[in-house]
Amino acid sequence: MEKKYKKDIDEILSSVTKDVDRKEIEKELKNYVEEFRLSVSEAKKLIARKYGAVLSFSSEPAKKTVRELTPVDKNVDLLCRVVYVNEKTITSDGEEKEILSGILGDDTGTVPFTLWEKGDVSLQKGDVVRIESAYITEWRDEPQVNIGNRGTLTKVDSSELPPFNGNARPQATLTKISSLGDTSGNIAVMGRVLSIESREVNVSGETKDVMSGIMADETGKVSYTCWGKTKIKRGDAIKVNNGYLRRWRGMPQLNFDSTAVEKSKEKFPSEEELAKPVDVTIDELARMGGMVGASVSGVILDVRQGSGLVLRCPECNRVLQKNQCRVHGEVKGEPDLRTKAVLDDGTGALTVILGKDLSEKLLNKSLDKCLKEAKKAMDQGIIQEELFDILVAKPMIVMGNVTSDDFGLMLIANDTEFATIDPLSEAQGMLEEFL
C-alpha cells in the first residue's frame, strides 16, 4: 500500500512541522479513502489539519464513480447512464422553473440526480451523460447528485459507457415492500408475482417490450414495470436487483430492467394469501407514499363536505359544482352517491373515498331511495348528515388502494366494515403503554 499512496504521504509529511509517524499517516489515509470513501485530496486535507498544517489544492473536479460519491463532495465529474428521468416545474423565489430529476447509474450503482437549470436539455432513459462540476447532497442517508449553475450535463455517445450488466452491478441490501419508501435507487426486493401483463410501447420512435403488474411479500404489495422480456410468470417468486422507485398516478411503482430480475427459491405465502389486503398503519403508508391492497383500521373523525348525493359530468365523471364541470362547463349532471371521510389510526390520518356501492351499503338503501328522500325534504344535504351520524366516532376497517399527492394520503375503498373492539383488551393495551 505504501507505493499506492507514497506521493500523497510525502506531501502530508512535508506540510507538517512536528515529527509524525509515517505508518500512522498511511493508516489514516487508507481509512479515510477506503473506509469512509473520501477523495484522496479531501483525506489529505483532514490529516494535515489534524497535525496543524494546511494543504491547498486546485479547484479541479474529482472524477468519480457512483459508488465513490459522498455527501461532502462539492466538485465532481461523472460519466453515467440515465436510468429514469422526469421533467417537472417547481416554484423558486416566486418564479416557475423547469428542472430534470431522476436516477443515474454506472456499473458501480445508482444515484438520484437533479438538474436545476433544464434549459434546452432533453433526456431519455438509456442516454449516456457526462456531468461536470456537480455537488453532492444527502437525502435519507444516501448521496444525491446536483447540477447547479456552475455544473454542466452533456449527452455523449452511448459507446463511452457500456450497457449495464445487471449481474455485474453491486447488490443492494434487501428491502421489504412496505419499506420501499425509505429507499431511492439501487433497490433489491423479493416477492411473488400476483399479476403480469405484456405489451409494447413506443419510446422516441423505438418499440420496446414492457411487462407490468403487481408483486407482493408478506408486508405489502407494489405495482412494477419491467423493461424488456423475461421468463417470469404469474405466481413466480422473484428477486429484483438494482430497481428504482418512481411515482405513477399517485402511487409508488417499482421499475427494473429484465437483466435485473431472477426467479427466487425463497418461500413465500401462496398467491391467495398474498392477494388479501395487508394490515398497515397510516404512518407506514406515508413513508411508502401509497400502496396497492392496503387494510387500515382506525376511527372515522369526520364526513367531509361533498359527501352524500352528488351530480357528475356525463362526459368525464367529475363532480359538478353548481351544475358546472370544470372541463365541460354547464351540463346536465347524473346523480351519484359517495362518501369522503377522514380516518385516524393513532399514527396519522388519511382521506377515505367510498363509492356508490359502499355508500349504499352503509346507508342500507339505494341511490334512488336517497334521491326520493332528499326531494321530499327539499334538502340534498340530509344524506351527508345521515352518513355523518352513521360513521363519525366509529371504529372501521377500510380496504383499498392508497394514493398520495400534495394534499396527503387518499384511500380509494373497495371494501369496508365496522370494527369490533374488546373494551378489556383495549384498556389492557393502554395500560401497557404507560407501564
Distance CA 388, CA 390 (A): 5
**Single-letter residue type at 290:** G
Supply the pLDDT for residue 167: 45
> What digits encode the pLDDT tens for the residues 383-421?
999 999 999 999 999 999 999 887 789 999 999 999 875
Supply the pLDDT for residue 1: 45
Cell of 340: 369522503
Supply the pLDDT for residue 430: 44
The mean of the pLDDT values for the chain is: 84
Cell of 59: 479547484
CA 276, 265, 209: angle at the middle one, nearest 5?
Answer: 75
Supply the pLDDT for residue 184: 56
CB burial of residue 160 (10 Å; 0-12, 13-18, 19+): exposed
Comparing CA positions, the residue from 338, 331, 295 lying closest to residue 316 is 331
| Residues facing 368 on adjacent strands | none
Q: Which pTM value belongs to this model?
A: 0.63
**Single-letter residue type at 253:** Q
| Residue ranges in the chain modelled with pLDDT below 70 | 1-3, 17-18, 35-39, 42, 54-60, 93, 139-141, 163-173, 182-185, 203-205, 421-435
Cell of 257: 430492467
